[in-house]
Each structure stands twice: as C-alpha cells, then as structure tokens.
Structure 1
C-alpha cells in the first residue's frame, strides 16, 4: 500500500471533518479533538491539527489548546441572510428555467424528480447527512440550469452554509424533512408547467418553512 503523504493526510482530515460539520454529525456547540479525529482516520495528529487550523480560518471551528476544538454555532442572523440571498438567486434562475427548450426542461425535471425520490428514501432511513446533501443539490441544479455563471458561483458559496443549517434543523425535528420534500415536489411541478408565478409563491413558502427554527 502506498504511503500516505502529509499533504494528502491533511486533505483527508480536512474533508472528513468538514463533512461532519456540514451534515450535522458535529453540531454547533459540540467539541471534538485531534485525537478523536486521528483515531477515526488512522492518521497521526499532525494532519488533523493542520486541518483544524484550516477550518478555524473558515469560521467553522474555534481551537482551544489542550481542550480541543469547538464547533462554532450558526451565527445569529446568518440563517436569514442566507435564505434572503437564496430567494433572490433562485427566483431569478426560475425565470430563465421556464424559458428552456422542451427537451432541456424535461431533462431538468426528470433529474429533480429523481432527487426528490432520493430525498424521500433518505428521510425514511433517517439519514440526515444524505438528506442535507440532496437538499443542497436540488436547489443548486435549478440555479445552474438558469445559465448565469456568476449567480451559480455565488449560490455555491451559500451551499455549505445552507447544508449545515438544514442538517441542524432536520436533526432536531425530523418531521421538517417531510415538509421540505413536499415543498421540493411542488417546485418541480410548477417548473414543469412553466408557471413562474406559482413557483415563486411556493419558493417563498418553502424558504419561510426553512427559516422557522433556524
């Protein structure tokens, strides 16, 4: 087996811990440690320490010498800021999506319905991490289909924050995931009919549902 380099071990640790942060496995306010993560990955503490420093610069961890790392909770008001930004971007994207060709729209709708089906399966399995990932991808696909590269890139910067907030919300109240899945299904139905007005009304309600309890 090839020897793992320090750089690749650091990247492995970074991706592993970040996934735990985004999917809610390490919720805001909880503590973790270099030793705990090193044991999970079978690596030394050095690459984990480097990964922790990187995550601290991203505002996800706060490091305390000899005590470990605190998972920084979502800041007050951050959820509202993210959801307001998403509303603007996703509403704009929808107006472009309904102008796609029949073939392009049908392809997008099929993909979105597959994602909704996968979300339902994740909810049934109680897999919060998978649901949060699928939720973020659902909205990202609609924005990407809008064809504005700058807005797609901006939306991507919101995706990690969105994924973390949704995972937190669903973990504390699993029933909310069912409401979100129903909301997604309604959004797809409106896009398929090229009904922008209904889509925007449902998007407002969907994001308002997400806002509650965050």
Structure 2
C-alpha cells in the first residue's frame, strides 16, 4: 500500500480498478462517487481521490457533477498489445526450448496453470480464470530468462487482464476453447517446436482479442 495514500482511498482505488479490469464495470458505464462510497461504507472524499488516480492512469474520464465514465479500450490498443505479446512470448519460447531443463521446467509450470484454469472454468469463476490466463502467458516470457523483457511483459498485465475479461464474455462460453488453445501451446513447447508455438500463439491471440482480423 502507498503510505502517502489514506487507507480508505487506497481501498476505493483497488475496488474500482479490480471491477474495471475484471470487466464487471463495462466500457461506457457511468460511476458516481456516492454509489461507490455507499457500497464501501466510506465517505465520498476517498472515492473522489480514487477516481482522480484512475483518471490519471487512463481508466476513467471525469465529468464534474456527473461522475466518472469507464473508458473503453483505445482504438488500436488490442492490436498493439497482441503484437507485443507475439514478439515477447515467441522469443522467450525460442530461448527456453533450446535448453532441455528449462523447457521441462516451463512445461511443468504451464501444466499446473492449465489445471487451475480448468478448475476456474468448471467453477464458473471467470475472475480467477483471467488471473491464471495472465500468469500462464507471463510464465512463457519469464522462461526466456531476460529480466528486462519479463518486466515489460508485467507492465502489460493490466491491459491483458481487461482484454481477457472482455474476450471471455460475461457468460464464459469461450473460456473452454481458450484452455484448449493453451494446451496446444504447451504441446508445442514440450515438442521444442518454437515455430509451431508462434503459429498457435498467433491464432490464439487473434481469436481471443482480434476476431475477424487477418493473421
């Protein structure tokens, strides 16, 4: 927690941001300080501070005396994030599969995350699924052993989490298909097939985040 931020404001910030990233607050939704304050049992002042912070980060747009608008994913943002992920994950897997021990450790870690994804889907817990999906893709980048690239990938996690929540949808019909695509990614890693991994990853990311786009 930021020691310079009052606990109530930090709590309001965390609560609203989690709702934004999980998709519980959809793009275009108008939020009121009073409603959030009543929900959390706090005054409006810390909620106002939280709204200001989220607006500075680009998640909300403030309208005096009206509230705050949930900002949609910016035009081109999904394409840019997908391109970055293709480069980061493809390069990392190419490095990782060149060393059998690294490859085997990566496969074991990914399979554990797959188990968690399946459990989340069975339970209908899409928030947990989104967290495990993000961890799965970050593990791919980390396996490349480049701390700078791993740190950069981590900065994309919030955008990724929101994109995952939007792509899965409120009812979660698409989540089982995404898990199956993750299984294909793990199979390519286990086979040491970096080129095949890139092909599967490109299709997976386009299907999930850029439906209808060319590959």
When normalised by structure 2's length, the TM-score is 0.90
Runs of 4+ in 1 over 4 A off after TM superposition: none
- Where do 1:17-28 residues align within 5 Å? 17-28=16-27
Between stretches 39-48 and 176-185, larger displacement belongs to 39-48
- Tell me the CA shift for residue 99 of structure 1: 2.5
Q: Which secondary structure state, in structure 2, belongs to the residue aligned with residue 62 of structure 1? A: strand
- Where do 1:28-39 residues align within 5 Å? 28-39=27-38
CA contact (8 A) 2:104 2:190 kept: yes
- Tell me the CA shift for residue 203 of structure 1: 0.9
Query: Equivalent residue for 1:105?
Result: 103
Query: Equivalent residue for 1:201?
Result: 199
- Tell me the CA shift for residue 205 of structure 1: 1.2
Note the aligned Cα RMSD (angstroms). 1.9
Q: Which secondary structure state, in structure 2, belongs to the residue aligned with residue 63 of structure 1? A: strand
Between stretches 75-84 and 29-38, larger displacement belongs to 29-38
When normalised by structure 1's length, the TM-score is 0.90
Between stretches 49-58 and 165-174, larger displacement belongs to 165-174
Query: Equivalent residue for 1:142?
Result: 140
- Where do 1:71-82 residues align within 5 Å? 71-82=70-81
Count of paired positions = 209
Query: Equivalent residue for 2:121?
Result: 123
CA contact (8 A) 2:103 2:192 kept: no
Between stretches 180-189 and 35-44, larger displacement belongs to 35-44
Q: Which secondary structure state, in structure 2, belongs to the residue aligned with residue 175 of structure 1? A: coil
